[in-house]
Amino acid sequence: MDLFKVLGSGARFNKKRFTDDISLFEPSNKLRKTNDTSDTQMDIMQEINFFHNSKSAIDETLGVIKDKKITKDVEKDQEGEESINCYNDENEDEDDPAEEEPLVKDLNSMDDVKSFRKRHRIHIYGTDIPNPFSSFDDLGSKYNFQPYICKNLKNSAYEKPTPIQMQAIPIMIHGRDLMAMAPTGSGKTLAYIIPMLHDLKGPEKIGYRALIISPTRELAQQIYREFKKMAVGKKFKVCMLTKATAATQAQTPHLREKFDILISTPLRLVHAIQQDIIELKNVRHLILDEADKLLELGFLEQTDEIFAACSNVKLQKALFSATFPSSVETLANDFMKDPIRVVIGLKNAATETIKQKLLYVGQEEGKLIAVRQLIQEGFKPPVLIFVQSIERAKELFHELIYDGINVDVIHSERTKAQRDSIILNLKQGKIWVLIATELMARGMDFKGVNLVINYDFPQSVQSYIHRIGRTGRAGRSGEAVTYYTKDDAPYLKSVVNVMKESGCEVPDWMLQLKNPSRESKKRLQIIEASKKRKARKLAIASDKNEDINKGDTIYGDKKEKKDKSKGDNNSKYESKSLLSNKKTKQNNRKKKIN
């Protein structure tokens, strides 16, 4: 007989006969307190402790040790007996989340740190990199964060840090320059707000000490709201630079010293610097949100001027984005001091919570048919539709406004009040479909967006990732559909690569496509530019037609008036001639009589 096998199968008792014995395996509050029972209990424990490992074995069996899981299986057999099996489930211990994610204080060896980073897909590049942390509770215990920050995190329902927050926050606390690349909706904004508030400690009336630059006003407003939410409990003065705030600070220079944090778009800030409205000499933290956009040619000159104005020797620079082209990384290394680069997941990849799909629509006219078909089949609002230009946005808006859905359009030509109203209406569910240009593709957090449609094919991988990143945020699921025509087919592979890296199903024939060359990418830009010109011509033509129609009506009215006046004048002339004829006849009669 195999003794270990018998012991492993569990002890069998007759329920009626061994009632007292069964009660020994019940929870401690149900144990009998009689001396006889306690003596019996000790005898049984000593017999079970055949390995002679003293008290620990007895305690584990009784369930006194809480860290170990002890389960009780009760199986009724045909003879009316019960089988009670007490054991430690080692497999369940392995699946325990607490065991999976050790705290920072437990990451004593490099192997532990490497394992932790691998589990969370954290890739780091640089020297002397601080260890990550696994819980917001560690902010207070390990990094001595002030209680108000931890309290605000709990009040905002932030229960667990995201991978970018786990690694970026310790790096910024240590004052290192940082290049952080993480998927859209992964909590990048919070990753720089928390360490910044920790380092600033409290309000000081010495002027701006932190500066955040964003490419759009809408994103700047979103960052401003997040700062105000995290700074509750401290009287930090946060300023979002607008035309009104710039004018106020120009008129009352002493107000500048009251602010601690400045959030702005590049052009607005450059104008303020040039007019000596803003001073940035005390800035210790400079953040570029959507850094790859801010380091493109369109923004580069303005960004360079802002860097020059930040003259503090202890300036810390941090770049955050979902995408970093190699050209931007090379440029960033020129002005950053020994930076640490953090990449979450795969480089230039979309989040895995987005279901991505490509839809062939034939020719350009097929896009509108596909959108109308989607509307007829039914959809779950809100939906974002991205187009390539303002003219295309207006054109699509005029087509969809007559289809009986709540649709609106947002672009840079809309006024500040109109754009604010549109975003508010979208969040409140008053707008079902929002047509947008690249303006809305960067950083905007619309938690309820269920579907993103790329009406016009994106011109780059970065554009595609940022567009579809408006859905599937913070772990929620979303869907993205990209329309492509016959002309767009050669450029599919760049999008297909992103889909494959994100875990989406892609047909085999798409995987066999060739990667687009630089010349073909330039050709795509030319095609999109021609679409813009066509849309612009149509817009101008429609405006001209309206003007011509107006002119015709005006001209017609004037002509009628002119004809009437001519008629009146002719009648006058006719009446005058008749009178003159009458007079001549009368004179002739008088002559004859004479």
Question: Does residue 527 form part of some domain?
Answer: no
Pick the residue with more confidence: 58 or 184?
184
Tell which of 516, 547, 564 closes a domain.
516
Residue 13: predicted pLDDT: 52
User: Strand ranges (DSSP E) for 326-382?
Assistant: 340-344, 354-362
Same domain, 166 and 90: no
Same domain, 182 and 268: yes
Same domain, 510 and 555: no
Q: What is the pLDDT of residues 4-19, one digit of tens each?
A: 555 555 555 566 666 6
Range of weakest confidence among 481-490, 527-536, 545-554: 545-554
| Dihedrals phi, psi of 83, to nearest 5 degrees | -110, 120
Same domain, 250 and 329: yes
Mean pLDDT calculated for residue range 268-274: 95
Question: Does residue 460 form part of some domain?
Answer: yes
| Dihedrals phi, psi of 95, to nearest 5 degrees | -85, 0
CATH of the domain at 464: 3.40.50.300
Q: What is the pLDDT of residues 145-202, one digit of tens each?
A: 999 999 999 999 998 999 999 999 999 999 999 999 999 989 999 999 999 999 999 9
Residue 81: predicted pLDDT: 38
pLDDT band at 90 (very low <50, low <70, confident <90, very high): very low
Same domain, 276 and 143: yes
Same domain, 198 and 312: yes
Same domain, 48 and 145: no
Mean pLDDT calculated for residue range 93-107: 47
In the predicted structure, residue 446 carries a pLDDT above the cut 80: no
Question: Does residue 573 form part of some domain?
Answer: yes
What predicted TM-score, i.e. pTM, was given to this entire model? 0.69
In the predicted structure, residue 129 carries a pLDDT above the cut 80: yes
Could you tell me the residue range of the domain that residue 561 belongs to?
A: 534-594
- Tell me which range, 68-82, 296-310, 501-515, is most confidently predicted by mean pLDDT: 296-310
The encoded tokens of residue 303 equal 């960004």
Same domain, 494 and 358: yes
The encoded tokens of residue 133 equal 């942390």
Q: What is the pLDDT of residues 26-56, one digit of tens each?
A: 655 544 444 454 555 555 555 544 444 444 4
Question: Does residue 148 form part of some domain?
Answer: yes
Range of weakest confidence among 257-261, 443-447, 526-530, 556-560: 556-560
In the predicted structure, residue 343 carries a pLDDT above the cut 60: yes
Range of weakest confidence among 76-85, 404-413, 530-539: 76-85
Mean pLDDT calculated for residue range 76-85: 38
Residue 540: predicted pLDDT: 52
Tell which of 323, 344, 365 closes a domain.
344
Same domain, 312 and 405: no
In the predicted structure, residue 447 carries a pLDDT above the cut 80: no
Mean pLDDT calculated for residue range 419-430: 90
Residue 75: predicted pLDDT: 41
Contact 447, 476 (CB under 8 A): yes
Question: Does residue 275 form part of some domain?
Answer: yes
In the predicted structure, residue 593 carries a pLDDT above the cut 90: no
In the predicted structure, residue 248 carries a pLDDT above the cut 90: no
Calculate the alpha carbon distances from 484 to 370, 380, 501 in Å. Answer: 11, 23, 20
- CA nearest to 164, candidates 189, 149, 142, 182: 182
Q: What's the number of domains the chain is made of?
A: 4
Same domain, 236 and 269: yes
pLDDT band at 297 (very low <50, low <70, confident <90, very high): confident
Question: Does residue 366 form part of some domain?
Answer: yes
Same domain, 81 and 138: no
Mean pLDDT calculated for residue range 469-476: 85
Tell which of 320, 344, 368 closes a domain.
344
For residue 336, the tally of other CB atoms under 10 A from its CB is: 18
Give per-residue burial for 371-407: e unless 16+ CB within 10 Å, then b.
beebbeeebebbbbbbbbbbbbbbbbbeebeeeeeeb
Mean pLDDT calculated for residue range 282-300: 93
How far is residue 172's CA from residue 194's CA, in Å, rounded to a whole number?
A: 9
Same domain, 89 and 110: no
Question: Does residue 528 form part of some domain?
Answer: no
Sign of CA dihedral 412, 416, 418, 422: positive
Question: Does residue 349 form part of some domain?
Answer: no
